[in-house]
Amino acid sequence: MEFKITQDTNKINELRAQLYSKLTAPIDAMWELLYIASAKNYLIYSEEKNIGYCSIDNNHSLLQLFFLDGFKAKMKTVVESLIEQKLIVSASLSSNEPIAFNTCLSLSKSIKPNTFCFQHTNSEVDENSSLNLELVSETDIPEIKSFLKEQIGMDDTFGYTENLVSRKEIYFIKEGNKIITTSECRWSDTQPEIADLGIIVNKNQQGKGIATQVLKLQANRVIQANRKPICSTTIDNIGSQKAIERAGFYCSNIIFDIQF
């Protein structure tokens, strides 16, 4: 088994599109944009024939693994080869990729859940909200960055907010000069039927049902645009999980950290 690192994004995107078409649930956008996008991609060869690809991050963790039809029986052999060649020491995979996930699970020494991923019922929900959810403009960017730093410790020096503003994918609610919440509604480029929602509520405003109401507003926005809303949260964020479920979402898959 041979693994060749590649910079051929067209080839990887072609294979990745095939992977996405076979997933049992959509891929989480945050996971895709912040982790998979920065991983190294390898084309997998058997007897000089390309049979698939894998993505591995800088910590030698396997993030994606895909085989063309007819080669899935090689899954275990490939994962064992990746481990033996010390290309990977762990994997972070979703249960929406059952063959790769189950193969890594069978070879694991330990496993723990990392992120809950949710899908919506795709039925519009009753908002009953007077919240004024506005698009963030370019002039608001410094204030948004300060909010992200203060609330979640995110030091956005890499253009994350600017990109969302340019794509009209980030909203906020203010009371006077104070930001109450920010909310993302990202229209997926790789999954054209999907939109990924996110929300950050000011620590001083949590527990008031704001997250649920904003998620309802955003879910209805997505459904009216003929897309399907998804969202995610870490395993330890119980409050976020409850807000998501109250807004009409259900857990469709889980991302696990697997150690070999």
> Which pLDDT value is given to residue 106?
97
The total number of residues shown for the chain amounts to 260
> Which pLDDT value is given to residue 109?
97
**Hey, do 2-108 and 119-259 end up sharing a CATH topology, with the first three levels equal?**
yes
What value does the mean pLDDT take over residues 40-53?
96
pLDDT at 129 over 80: no
User: CATH for 119-259, among 1.10.8.60, 1.10.3720.10, 3.40.50.720, 3.40.630.30?
Assistant: 3.40.630.30
What value does the mean pLDDT take over residues 19-23?
95
The domain over range 2-108 is classified in CATH as 3.40.630.80: yes
pLDDT tens column, 210-244:
999 999 999 999 999 999 999 999 999 999 999 99
Per-residue b or e along 238-247, where b marks 16 or more CB atoms closer than 10 Å to that residue's CB: eebbebbeeb
Alpha-carbon distances, residue 168 vs 2, 110, 134, 138, 225 (angstroms): 43, 41, 10, 10, 14
pLDDT at 35 over 90: yes
177: exposed, middle or buried (C-beta count within 10 Å: 0-12, 13-18, 19+)? exposed
> Which pLDDT value is given to residue 195?
97
Report domain extents, the chain.
2-108, 119-259
pLDDT tens column, 172-200:
999 988 999 999 999 999 999 999 999 99
> Which pLDDT value is given to residue 247?
96
> Which pLDDT value is given to residue 114?
96
> Which pLDDT value is given to residue 214?
95
Alpha-carbon distances, residue 35 vs 14, 19, 29, 31, 69 (angstroms): 19, 17, 10, 5, 26
Write phi, then psi, for 139 (nearest 5 degrees): -70, -20
Which residue has tokens 């309802």? 216
pLDDT mean across residues, the chain: 95
User: What is the band of 126 on the pLDDT scale with cuts at 50, 70, 90?
Assistant: confident
CA–CA dist 209, 201 (Å, integer): 10
